[in-house]
Amino acid sequence: MKPLLILAAALTPLAAQAANPLVTDDTGTQDTGNWQLELNSEWMTLPTSRQQQWSSTLTYGVLPNLDVAVQAPYQRTRPDGDGWTSGVADLQLQAKWRFLERERWSLGLKPFVSLPTASQDRGLGNGRATTGANLLMQYALGRWTFLANAGYTWNNNSIGNRQSLWNASTAVLFSATPTLRLVADIGLATQPDPTTKTKPAYALVGAIYSPTTDLDLDVGYKRGLNPASLSHSVQAGATVRW
């Protein structure tokens, strides 16, 4: 069972979580002294298993253009023909720095480190600290917002997976109404499994409903674009700011 759990973990994105339900992150920050709590759930069908994930991310605005955050994930994995394995996954520390801003566009950097807090023996974690960073770009044009990310992860591990992982993605958000945004996201990444060169790729569509400026409710559907990717997933979440 353990090799299948490791494969399921390998197909789970290693990069820091973006604003729900997107994978591609924006350059927005919380501003000094403000807090944000993101709660997200995702139900995934992978090539050889099923997986459920819940994550909570608490963010604090240190400066107008600098955030720090901690993400605590929990997951359940069931390889095909076997039982469920569940537990806390590796804790992740994040920062987001918007280092360049103009009238319509901005650039940011989002470094992160995943701490080996989960059980490697149960296939829930790497057993070693993992680090990386994503370069963020955002461009606004009327009711449209365009995002692009490029990132690198040093996938430090003892289970034979690739250590150098790259990812790239792009997304678009459309403000259909003052309270409703429609989103689409597409991306690909290095395959952690060294036995194959096919890069996992995905496409995602979703919606974000904001009844107030301090509350977002979101849903999303993600589809894998090749056999190395997840088959599909559905997700839902909520974001609260204060």
Q: Among the residues of the chain, which ranges form H helices?
A: 2-10
Residue 6: the pLDDT is 46
pLDDT in tens, the chain (242 residues): 444 444 444 445 444 567 899 999 999 999 999 999 999 999 999 888 899 999 999 999 999 999 999 999 999 888 877 778 888 888 999 999 999 999 999 999 999 999 988 777 776 777 789 999 999 999 999 999 999 999 999 998 877 889 999 999 999 999 999 999 999 999 999 999 898 888 999 999 999 999 999 999 999 999 999 988 889 999 999 999 99
Count CB neighbours of 57 within 10 A. Answer: 22
Residue 72: the pLDDT is 94
Taking CA atoms, 166 is separated from 23, 134, 215, in Å, by: 14, 10, 32
* Backbone φ and ψ of 61, nearest 5°: -85, 110
Per-residue pLDDT reduced to its tens digit, 25-34: 999 999 999 9
Contacts of 203 (CB under 8 A, 6+ apart): 184, 185, 186, 222, 223, 225
Extended beta strands in the chain, E state: 35-46, 49-63, 66-79, 85-88, 92-101, 105-114, 130-141, 144-154, 164-177, 180-189, 201-212, 215-224, 232-241
CB 47 within 8 A of CB 234: no
Count CB neighbours of 175 within 10 A. Answer: 15
Per-residue pLDDT reduced to its tens digit, 7-25: 444 445 444 567 899 999 9
Residue 172 pairs in a beta bridge with 146, 184
